[in-house]
Structure 1
Amino acid sequence: MMRPSLNDLTAFVAVATHRSFRRAADELGTAPSTLSHAMRGLEDRLGVRLLNRTTRSVSPTEAGFELLSRLQVALASLDEALDAVTTFRGQVAGTVRINAPRVAAAALVRDVLPRMVERFPDVTVDLVVEGRLIDIVSGGFDAGVRLIGSIPKDMIAVPFASPIGFVCVASPAYLHRAGEPATPDDLQRHRCIGHRMPSGRLYRWEFKRAGQELTIDANGPVVLDDEDLMVEAAVQGLGIAYVASWAAEAAIAEGRLRRVLATWMHEPERAAVYYPGHRVVPPALRVFLDVIRDIRPTK
């Protein structure tokens, strides 16, 4: 049997991971028809069907899943070996893939990426904004970013940035019409701007005061899945919004929004970059973590 080429194996991983010839072709910079032809050639050389194809979808067979799981490990090891060689050039190069929610991605763009570009111009930071909690290893990411309380216990976490807090805000015009809530229970008589999570469920607003914790189903005429849009909806007087403090700080400073229920909000929480400790840390990720450690607050 002729050994398949590395290009064909890499192409198979892309197709099997994306479950799409078109998306895999976009990633690899080739045509879907070229990929389809290459996959049929790979199956012929191996003597086994690797992909189930229909007019609408493509998915790995049992043999395909087995090959995919083994190739992902092998290709990751190959990438680590190639990354290690780059250190001998005197300048670290490569790509570090980071998965982060928008609230943390904004802090990375503001505080970390400018220093990365200045200190390590040959390192590309591929930042994917993702609201869902995912398995970063199976997703092909070098690291993820989450609030510390939501990071899996088997990961190594490196805190960064200032603690992230949340605020309830409304426009002065809305509060003049509807009054200001004194407790979270008062929200049942107010219009609230709903927050749809990436999972599809509506976020239940969380409050805490003097050891008492409350969770409220916020109801209202608008449901959004973007914090900037929630802030804008609040500015337009559509109701009360529950958002990350960074998203509303400009509107608060300009007087377009006012905080409500401030004494009922949870304490701000630190975010952290996390990565699996059982794998070799690639050079690009290592220097990214070095920058994080250099700039993180000491308190």
Structure 2
Amino acid sequence: MTVTFPVLDLRDATGTPESKATFLNQLRVAIHEIGFFQLIGHGIDDFDKMLELSRQFFALPEQDKLALNILDSPLFRGYSEIGREHTKGIPDHRQQLDIGPEQPERRPAPGDPVYQRMIGPNRWPEAMPELRPAIESWITRLTGLSHRMLRLICESLDAPADFLDDVVDPDPQIHLKLLHYPGPPLTGQDNGSDQGTGIHNDLGLLTLLVRDNNSGLQVAVKDGQFVEVPVLPEAFVVNLGELLEVATNGYVRATLHRVVRPAPGVDRYSIPFFYNPRLNATMQPLPSPYVEAADGVSDVAGNPLFALYGENVMKGMIRSFPEIIARHHPDLAPVAGSTSA
């Protein structure tokens, strides 16, 4: 199957009225028909620096990385060894560093919503002090870019540009991952699985992805058929999450995707940035003629979609990190056991 993934130039959105209208139409088609596109002209030019910092982090001695062991974090923050995070109950073959909003530590009170257990500070490597300021700068800039894209998405659907501002302001629940996918050392030394990251949808609003020159990201474009997203230098891969599917009654697609492991001896690095509503925000339908005529959200067995973002993200954490749930949130373990298969 031949699929052309749209390439949108953000500079067109600030050009002539004609160029903006063309951009908005291309955006609407992309988010409805594929749910993925590549974004250029965004003004962010330090992809190589961030990928190099990621390589340096994963090259640290294992003891330095394990000082940030995610198993020690009830907030789901820190370093994961290969196989720590699961997709549909199957371990993913990748290392990662998970980073969320930098917030003061708090102790949940009885009766607090479960999702408030995710609020608190990040964990940073003492052996690499330059990582924190670089990532915090990156998060600030990608938060601004994501909010701009969210407004353009609303415009492309003939909804007010600021309609979704209330679900993200003043503190969107951002999430950033540094990811390292190592290929098997030599042909014949594999465990038989090519799963880098298993088949899934993203949970929130939208994702901006930076990756190196190694392929591996695949998108289900039709009837479970997966197609490789071509590598385009200096482009963000942008895809939409389940909460936008909810807000648009299924008009916007939160498309299934996966990452396959690289070839033997190859190391793949990527940095996804997830832009999400506040934990306590509930999605409302966009006032849009496209939404009014939409067919409804995807009905996937075992994957209910919740309009309250905190509930949706905890659904994902319970499935992805059963060991953290068992260690820090044992009251949720029965739920984990029933939904992680």
Structure-2-length-normalised TM-score: 0.22
| Greater per-residue helix proportion | 1
